[in-house]
Structure 1
Amino acid sequence: MQRFALLGAGFIGAVHAENLAAHPDVDLVFVYDIDLTRAAALADRFGGKATTNPADVFDATAVDAVFIASSTDTHAEHLRAAADAGLAVVCEKPIAPTLHEAERVVEHVEASGVFAMVDFNRRFDRDHVELKRVVDAGGVGPVELVQMSSRGPTLPPVEYLRVSGGQLRDQTVHFFDLCRWITGEDPVTVSVTGSALVDPTIAEFGDVDTSVAVLRLPSGGIVQIDSVRRTGYGYDERIEVMGADGLIESRRQPAANVALYSNAGITTSPLHKGWFERVQPTYAAALSAFVDALAAGGPSPASLRDGLNAQAIAEAATASLASGKTERIAYEGSAAP
C-alpha cells in the first residue's frame, strides 16, 4: 500500500483524488491546497487530511509518494521538495514554466534518485497503446509518415489562454510526447504555421487556436500534427501511422459504439462532447502504471526526461510559429542533432 499526498484541489486535482481513492494499492493520506476550503472539500469526498502546510505532504515518515496537480508555476518547487524528501513523485505537465528551469529541476530530481513520472496520460489510451504495440512489433514496417489530430470542441476562456503558454506548449505538447513514444525517435526539426480563427483577440498575446506542426525524424520520417481549439462537432483525437508495409490507425472515438439502422438511414453516436469525456479513463490507467512501476522498481512509464524532451519540442515549435521558419530542436543531454 503506497501512501499518497495530493497537491492541488482544483479540477484536475479532483480527477486525481477520485482515482487515488479508488485504487486498491493506494492510501490517500493528505490533500494539500493553498485554499483550505478546497482541500477540505476533496478530503471530505475522497479521504485524507486537508492541509495548507507543505511540511505535511513532504514528510517521508507519513507519505511514500506525492501527486503534483497544483498550478503550473508551483510544479518545479514541489518536484524539488519531493526529491529532497526522498519521495516518489508523479507530476502534471509541464515540469516548469520555462525550458531552462525544467532542465535544472530534472537534473535535481535525477540526482536524488527518486522515482518520478510525468502524467502524460494519453500514453495510456487503450487504442494508442495497441497502435504502439503494432508499430514496435514491425507491423507496418519502418515508419514513414505519422498524422495526429488534436481538435478540441470549444475554445477555453481567454483568461486561461493568456497564461497557458500558447497552444503548442499547452495542447500540442501531449502529441509531441506521443510522437516520441510511438516512433522511438526524437524529432530534429519542426515547422509550424497557425492562425487565430476562432477568436482573433488571442493573437494580441501571440497565441493561435488552429495550427499545423511538421516534424522531421532522424530516420527521415515525417510527423504532422494538427491542433484545433474549436471543432463544432465534438472532441476529435486520432493517430495514423504509415510505414513501408502498411498503416495503422487509432480512430476517432464516438461517445458510444452503437448504430441505429432504419428506413431513414443509419444513425451513429456522435463524438464525445469534450476532451475530458474522451480521455477520462487514461488518468486512472496512468496512475495504475505509476503505482505498478513504483512497486516493481521501475522503469518510469513516462520519465521526467520524456517530459523535458517534449517541452523542448514545444519550445522550438513556438519559436517556429513566431519566426515562420523551420527550427532545429535542442535537447539537453540528448544525442539528437
Structure 2
Amino acid sequence: MIKLGIIGFGRIGRVHAESIMNYVKDAEVKAVADPYINEEGEKAALELGIENVYKDHKKIIDDPEIEAVLVCSSTDTHSQMSIEAAEAGKDIFCEKPIDKNLDKIEEVLNVVEKAGVKFQVGFNRRFDHNFQAVKENVENGKIGDVHLINITSRDPEAPPIDYVKGSGGMFLDMTIHDFDMVRFLSGSEVEEVYAAGEVLVNPEIGEVGDIDTAVITLKLKNGAIAVINNSREAVYGYDQRAEVFGSKGG
C-alpha cells in the first residue's frame, strides 16, 4: 500500500483525495496539509478516512512513511513544495503550472533530476479516453500528416476573483491544458504563437489584469497549424472539444 500526502486541501485537493480513497486500491492518503484548513475541511478529510490533518506541510515532507506527495496548493507555492518534496526523496504529482517563472521551473526540474524522484504535472486530459483515441489515430497514420488542430475549451463559470489574482492568468491557469493537448495530439512543438484576448464575461477579471476570452493560433515545427478558443464561462456548461485534420481526413 502506497501512502500519500496531499499539500493543499481546497477544491482540487479534495477531488484527488476522494478519487484516491475511493478508487485506487493500492494507495491511501495518510495525511493532508493546508494552512487555511477549517472545521469543514477537517470533517471532509475524516469522512474520507484521512486521520492526519495538518496546517504545516512540513509534517508531510518529514514523514518517512509517505512515499509520494500531491501538490495541490496555490499556484505561487507549487515550485517550493515540489522542491521540498523532491529533496525529501518523495515522488511528486504537481498541479499545473509548476511556477509562473521559467527559471523557477528549471530549478524544480533540476532538483527532481538530481533527487531521482518521479515528477508528473497534472495534465489530466492526456488520460481521457476520447483524447487518447484521437492521439492513437494520429500515431497509427489513420489521419495522415497533421495539417490542422482545433481545440475548444470553455469552462461553465468564471472562477472567484481571489483565485484569478493568484492563478497566473488565463493562459497559465486554463489554456495551459490546451497548449499541452496541441503538443500531445500533434507530436510536435510550437514555434510561433499569436494570441488575442478580451474581457467579455466579468469586468472584475479585467480589473485584476486578466482576460476571460481568447483565441490563440499556433504554428508547429511540423508545419501544422493549431487554433484554440477559450472562454471562462459557457452558459450551457463545460465544453471540451478537439479535432485533428490531416492529409487523410479527420
- Into which bin does the TM-score normalised by the smaller protein fall? over 0.9
**Partners in 1 of 2:105 and 2:21 — Cα distance?**
30
How far apart are residue 200 of structure 1 and its match?
3.6
Match of 2:62 in 1: 59
Pair 89,172 (structure 1): closer, same or farther in 2 beyond 3 Å: same
Superposed CA deviations along residues 64-116 of structure 1, whole A, max 9, x for unmatched, are: 11111111122111101111111111011111132221121111112211011
Structure 1 residue matching 2:227: 3-state secondary structure: strand
Mean CA deviation greater in 141-150 or 49-58: 49-58
1:128 is matched with 131
Give the aligned partner of residue 27 of structure 1: 28
Q: Confirm or deny that 1:177 pairs with 2:208.
A: no
How far residue 235 of structure 1 moved from its aligned partner, in angstroms, is 1.6
**Secondary structure of the equivalent of 1:123?**
helix
Letter in 2 for 1:242: F
Equivalent in the alignment of 2:196: 193
- Between 1:161-170 and 1:3-12, the stretch displaced more is 161-170
1:209 maps onto 2:196 in alignment: no
The equivalences for 1:51-200 within 5 A come to 51-59=54-62, 61-200=64-203
1:41 is aligned to 43
Task: Give, in whole Å, the separation in 1 of the partners of 2:86 and 2:165.
Answer: 31
Aligned partners of 1:10, 1:133: CA distance in 2, in Å?
35
SS in 2 for 1:188: strand
Instruction: Tell me how far 1:177 sits from its aligned partner.
Output: 0.6
Determine the C-alpha separation between the residues in 1 that align with 2:28 and 2:43. Answer: 18
Flag structure 1 segments of 5+ consecutive residues without an equivalent: 248-337
> How much has 1:158 moved relative to structure 2?
2.9
RMSD between superposed Cα atoms in Å = 1.6
Structure 1's 53 and 225: CA in aligned 2 closer, same or farther, altered over 3 A?
A: same
The one-letter amino acid paired with 2:7 is: L
State the identity as a percent: 38
Q: Distance in 2 between matches of 1:218 and 1:50?
A: 47
Equivalence for 1:6: 6
Q: Distance in 1 between matches of 2:15 and 2:207?
A: 33
Aligned residues: 247
CA displacement at 1:27 relative to structure 2: 2.0
Give the deviation of 1:220 after TM superposition. Answer: 0.9
Contact 1:188 1:218 in 2 (8 A): yes
- 1:75 partner letter: H
Q: Alpha-carbon deviations, 1:19-44, whole Å to 9, x = none?
A: 11121010211111113535522331
Offset, 1:232: 2.2
| Structure 1 contact 9–42 (Cα < 8 Å) conserved | no
Provide Cα deviations, 1:272-328, integer angstroms capped at 9, x if missing partner: xxxxxxxxxxxxxxxxxxxxxxxxxxxxxxxxxxxxxxxxxxxxxxxxxxxxxxxxx
Alignment-derived partner of residue 258 in structure 1 = none
Residue 240 of structure 2 is matched in structure 1 by 237
Normalised by the length of structure 2, the TM-score is 0.93
In the TM superposition, structure 1's runs of 4+ consecutive aligned residues that sit over 4 Å from their partners are: none
Q: Which moved more, 1:201-210 or 1:74-83?
A: 201-210
Alpha carbons of structure 1 residues 86 and 165: separation in structure 2 relative to 1, 3 Å: same
Query: Structure 1 length as normaliser, TM-score?
Result: 0.70
Q: CA–CA distance in 1 between the matches of 2:209 and 2:77? A: 24
Moved more, 31-40 or 42-51: 31-40
Contact 1:60 1:86 in 2 (8 A): no
Matches of 2:236 and 2:124, distance apart in 1: 23
1:40-65 deviations in whole A, cap 9, x for unaligned? 22331112311223332123621111
Distance in 2 separating the partners of 1:54 and 1:211 = 36
Any unmatched runs of 5+ in structure 2?
none
Please identify, of 115-124 and 47-56, the stretch whose mean Cα deviation from structure 2 is larger.
47-56
Structure 1 distance, partners of 2:44, 2:159, is 24
Distance, in Å, in 1 between the alignment partners of 2:240 and 2:107 is: 33
Distance (Å, rounded) in 2 between the aligned partners of 1:3 and 1:200: 44
